[in-house]
Structure 1
Amino acid sequence: MSVDENHMPSIRGYLSGRPTRGRTSEAVTDALREAILDGVLAPSTWLREDEIAATLEVSRTPVREALRRLADEGLAQKTAHHGTVVSPMSVEDVLALYVVRENLEGLAARLATLRNEPGLVVALREVQAQMEALIGSGDSAALSRHNITFHRLIREAAGNFYLERFLGQAEQAVRRLAPTTFSFPGRDATGCAEHAEIIEAIAAGDPDAAEEAGKRHMRNARGIRFTKLGGG
């Protein structure tokens, strides 16, 4: 699939204004990353330097650097003698992602409980209330946004730079898996119930229970993905 005019107008919207001097590569990287995560640039789409540069009205140099960075992040893939494409995601990739995320989310919940950062439980309960208010509404996009916030609060409270970095990358990969699991029947209620278990374990100061609740939450999400992808 080529990067064509149908994609370019949408991609241009991801680059707000003119990049400040010295930050063009970062701005182009951010624009392309968000377009990939939002599904505007679908898996296996060709990322041609000249077309992207023309669309974003920048030189090819920052585009080349952006593509290199996206390849390092796993969002793009260089092919021998043919250029760069948006990385595809197979069923195996999806399941492998959830196996890793299961353990990382569990660890994040454990560390967040042990650190006992002031205000964390209150913040989590606020997000939880917003999500519970949306149960049955069919607004899976809003539920997904709150869900991202919920998990971000926990990984930040864990206080581990590497864990936060790895979970951030895992979250980016999950964003590519449209539609969100919250669009599947009943997942809004069960997902919220699982969040409640994580919150109560953290509030009780029980790192073992928090870790297990975090891992169970990801296992259940993985099971939904597996079923919807035709795995059973």
Structure 2
Amino acid sequence: MTIVFANHRITAFVTIIILSTVVLGISAYFAHIFLPNHVADITTFSLVVPSLNILVLVWSQPRIEAFWIFMLAVLWLSMGAWYDDLQGHTDCSSLTDSLRTVTNNGTVSSRAYCYETKVVEAFSWMNFALLAAYLVVLITLTGRSQVLGRPYAWQEPIIELPWFGEYPGYPGPYQYSDGYMPNGGYGQPMYVYPGMNMMGGGGGQMPYVVRQEPGQQIVIQPGMNGGMPIVQQMPA
């Protein structure tokens, strides 16, 4: 396999962290001018969610990451809905300069405050959409890894998840951790039983190789009690 999934994951997380940082900055400003006397609930909530988001996005196992991604998606969804309820369908541009919002130390422009809340709302929806999409991809890829002979894919390092059209295993140019070898010959992939000698056999042949025939699909099933996997060819 390649590191396509790892690269896409990093790109998605960097985007989410950037959006979260913007929300955290605006929320910190709200906390400075409002807490503890005004709109304390939503201001505190908008500080907690992006902070938690930045802290938990680290390398982990798929099962742990799926749990946290789900929790973060729910939190961002809640925050987007809360800010939408706060401003409703208010047209910020229609607010005049004479309208002011009360703060701890006086007032601020209601129009400026409206625009800032709209930014928080929009970025909350964007983070929710990104996290929800990533969660679907994560569950799909982990399920594929289990089908391809990795029954403990949910517990393995997340970097070993393959992208669509790839096979699971730690990224590398030669043999991968599941024994899959790309370009086994004539454009067909080959599958090697894990733990077996790749260089054995006479005439330079590799005796423990299953070559995928045209119109067939390879089915890999885990062996009993940790034994060798069962590799079968079936009509596609």
Query: TM above 0.5, one fold?
Result: no
Of Structure 1 and Structure 2, the greater strand share is in: 2
Of Structure 1 and Structure 2, the greater helix share is in: 1
Q: TM-score, normalised by structure 2?
A: 0.28
